[in-house]
């Protein structure tokens, strides 16, 4: 890798850190993506309103999910799509509807585990709260995003003097009993969470109807390593893929060559819990967007099906790098390294959607972008995870390839990936949009 490429990719890695810091929840992630899209000429369309014809760059949001697309000038309704899908959610701890509790003279907030959390990674960290709330308004509930301005919470680990068996039996955490963070002395005068939220939103607490509140690591994302060659951050799975997809699309639009396909992004919420929701990958969100976008170009269902037949999708979700302390956990003939380019993920049991035809599309994109490409295969004697790839392929009949940047500590409160890989993936995706 040339020194100029390293410098460019290091700057991009710093922008990735800024993106992650701006997105402590899926709702904030969509808001940050929308902000960057609008700065590049995209217009928001709302699902409850008529979509005007001739909008060249558009996006739509549904809660913590977002889709954006650009159609070539004068493109017919049957024009194929190049779609990059990812997800905005990450495993975390979320507040229960009645979170206020107290024990041993300390005020706590009751939490519920969301997704496949590495529970131990949330201990002994300064934690903050963010999410969305619904406030009573004159015409009905009004949604407001919030991020409390400072870390308030901490989950202290039990001292080893009181847990000697941890050395022989390991750490055992009960999600109901051992994860509720403390945030104040219990004097009876502390504000309840509703009061804290009302203060943050600058409204009467009595007007706060409900919330989706999530804990997150309060430490900012940053570059680490001898030469800043790694990114240490929360939520890299899968905000790093959202960032690379967005960066790749915007870079492609700055190119001289006109688009030949409709270039699109679709970022789904709820991937970490199975994608079965009103805005997950198993919902009709992406199909609704595709159909309505085809209709705005004068097409009907016939044109939609023809467009889908000419389309392809990259499912971008982070991949496991080979762990130097646990090499036996990886397929020995398929090592995957950070800062060595994206990895195509394959699984013959369709836990990943990659197959020969879709792999070839991505490999050709990498070749055009002069980006190295790796291969990830899960060990045959271990259960393999999955992505939005198979769901998207099944729902729309799209040829789909699963890819991801290598990382370590996946699903930890703090994860690690290569600082140069964001630039490599972004360039590969920009070429895919061609």
Instruction: Assess whether 101 and 148 both reside in one domain.
Output: yes
Last residue within a domain, chosen from 217, 243, 276: 217
Q: What is the pLDDT of residue 8?
A: 77
Among 11, 6, 16, CA closest to 232: 16
- Looking at the predicted structure, is the pLDDT value of residue 121 above 80? yes
Q: pLDDT tens, 256-307?
A: 889 999 999 999 999 999 999 999 999 999 999 999 999 999 999 999 999 9
Encode pLDDT of 137-160 as tens digits: 999 999 999 999 789 999 999 999
The domain boundary, picked from 186, 217, 248, lies at 217
Indicate whether 1 pLDDT > 80: no
54: left (phi over 0), alpha (psi -120 to 50) or beta: left
Q: What angle do CA 317, 72, 288 make, to 5 degrees?
A: 55
User: Looking at the domain assignment, is residue 224 inside a domain?
Assistant: no
Tens of pLDDT, residue by residue over 7-55, are 678 899 999 999 999 999 999 999 999 999 999 999 999 999 999 887 8
pLDDT > 70: what percent of the chain?
A: 98
Asked if pLDDT for residue 6 goes beyond 70, the answer is no
Cα separation, 366 vs 206, in Å, equals 54
Query: 281 and 397: one domain?
Result: yes
pLDDT digits (tens, 9 = 90+) for 400-428: 999 999 999 999 999 999 999 999 999 99
Q: How far is Cα of residue 413 from the mean position of the Cα atoms in its chain?
A: 14
Strand segments, DSSP code E, in 89-221 are 92-103, 106-114, 127-137, 140-147, 182-185, 208-217
With a cut of 90, say whether residue 335 has pLDDT above it: yes
Residue 270, CA distances (Å) to 14, 90, 96, 240 in order: 27, 8, 17, 16
Q: In the predicted model, is pLDDT for residue 4 greater than 70? A: no
Torsion of CA 206, 31, 61, 59, to 10 degrees: 150
User: Looking at the structure, do residues 44 and 100 belong to the same domain, yes or no?
Assistant: no
Are residue 79 and residue 124 in the same domain, yes or no? Answer: no
Residues 84 and 107 in one domain: no
Please say if the pLDDT value at position 356 is more than 70. yes
Say if 179 falls within a structural domain. Answer: yes
- Give the strands of the sheet with 319-320, arranged side by side: 222-224, 230-233, 415-418, 406-408, 319-320
Rg (CA), the chain: 22
| CATH classification at residue 42 | 3.40.630.10
The domain that contains 146 carries what CATH number?
2.30.250.10
Query: Which residue reads 């630039």 in tokens?
Result: 423
Choose the final residue of a domain: 153, 182, 217.
217
User: Which residues have CB under 8 Å from 394's CB, separation 6+?
Assistant: none
**Are 282 and 407 within one domain?**
yes
Does residue 263 belong to any structural domain of this protein? yes
pLDDT, position 312? 98
Burial class (CB in 10 A: 0-12, 13-18, 19+), 247: buried
Q: Which domain holds residue 278?
A: 3-90+234-432
CA pair distance 97, 87, nearest whole angstrom: 25
Cα–Cα dist 93/96, whole Å: 10
Same domain, 406 and 288: yes
Q: What CA–CA distance (Å, rounded) separates 423 from 336?
A: 17
Q: In whole angstroms, what is the distance from residue 192 CA to residue 181 CA?
A: 14
Shared domain check, 287 and 420: yes
Integer Cα distance of 5 and 339 in angstroms: 12
What confidence score (pLDDT) does residue 2 get?
57
386 lies in the same domain as 257: yes
Residues 175, 98 share a domain: yes
Q: What average pLDDT does the chain have?
A: 95
Are 57 and 40 a contacting pair, CB within 8 Å? yes
If you average pLDDT over residues 203-210, what whole number do you get?
A: 96
Name the CA dihedral angle for 188, 190, 192, 193, rounded to a multiple of 10 degrees. Answer: -150
- Does residue 3 register a pLDDT over 80? no
On whether residue 390 sits in a domain, the answer given is: yes
Contact 184, 170 (CB under 8 A): no
- Note whether 59 and 98 are same-domain residues: no
Count of domains forming the chain = 2
- Alpha-carbon torsion (216, 28, 240, 283), positive or negative: positive
Residue 266 shares a structural domain with residue 336? yes
Inside any domain, residue 225:
no
């Amino acid at each position: 890798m040339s020194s100029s490429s390293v410098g460019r990719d290091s700057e991009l890695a710093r922008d990735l850190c800024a993106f992650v810091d701006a997105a402590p929840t899926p709702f904030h992630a969509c808001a940050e993506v929308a902000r960057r899209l609008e700065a590049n000429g995209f217009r928001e369309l709302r699902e409850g309103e008529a979509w005007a014809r001739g909008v060249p760059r558009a996006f739509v949001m549904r809660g913590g999910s977002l889709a954006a697309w650009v159609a070539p000038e004068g493109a017919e309704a049957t024009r194929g799509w190049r779609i990059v899908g990812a997800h905005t959610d990450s495993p975390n701890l979320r507040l229960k509807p009645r979170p206020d509790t107290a024990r041993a003279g300390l005020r706590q907030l009751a939490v519920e585990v969301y997704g496949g959390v590495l529970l131990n990674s949330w201990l002994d960290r300064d934690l903050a709260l963010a999410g969305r709330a619904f406030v009573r308004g004159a015409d009905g509930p009004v949604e407001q995003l919030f991020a409390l301005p400072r870390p308030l919470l901490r989950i202290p680990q039990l001292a080893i003097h009181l847990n000697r068996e941890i050395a022989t039996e390991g750490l055992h955490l009960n999600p109901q009993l051992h994860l509720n963070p403390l945030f104040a002395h219990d004097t009876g005068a502390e504000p309840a969470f509703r009061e804290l939220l009302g203060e943050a939103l600058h409204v009467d607490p009595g007007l706060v109807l409900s919330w989706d509140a999530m804990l997150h690591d309060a430490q900012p994302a940053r570059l680490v390593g001898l030469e800043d060659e790694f990114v240490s951050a929360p939520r890299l799975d899968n905000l790093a893929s959202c960032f690379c997809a967005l960066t790749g699309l915007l870079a492609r639009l700055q190119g001289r060559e006109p688009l030949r396909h409709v270039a699109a992004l679709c970022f789904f919420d709820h991937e970490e819990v199975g994608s079965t929701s009103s805005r997950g990958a198993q919902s009709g969100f992406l199909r609704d967007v595709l159909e309505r976008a085809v209709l705005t170009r004068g097409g009907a269902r016939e044109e939609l099906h023809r467009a889908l037949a000419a389309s392809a999708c990259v499912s971008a979700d982070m991949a496991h790098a080979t762990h130097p302390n646990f090499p036996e956990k990886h397929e020995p003939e398929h090592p995957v390294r950070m800062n060595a380019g994206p990895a195509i993920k394959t699984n013959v049991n369709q836990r990943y959607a990659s197959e020969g035809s879709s792999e070839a599309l991505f490999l050709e994109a990498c070749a055009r972008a002069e980006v190295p490409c790796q291969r990830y295969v899960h060990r045959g004697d271990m259960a393999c995870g999955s992505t939005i790839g198979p769901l998207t392929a099944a729902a729309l009949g799209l040829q789909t390839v699963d890819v991801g940047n290598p990382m370590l500590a996946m699903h930890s409160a703090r994860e690690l990936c290569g600082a140069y890989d964001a630039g490599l993936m972004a360039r590969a995706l920009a070429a895919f949009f061609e």
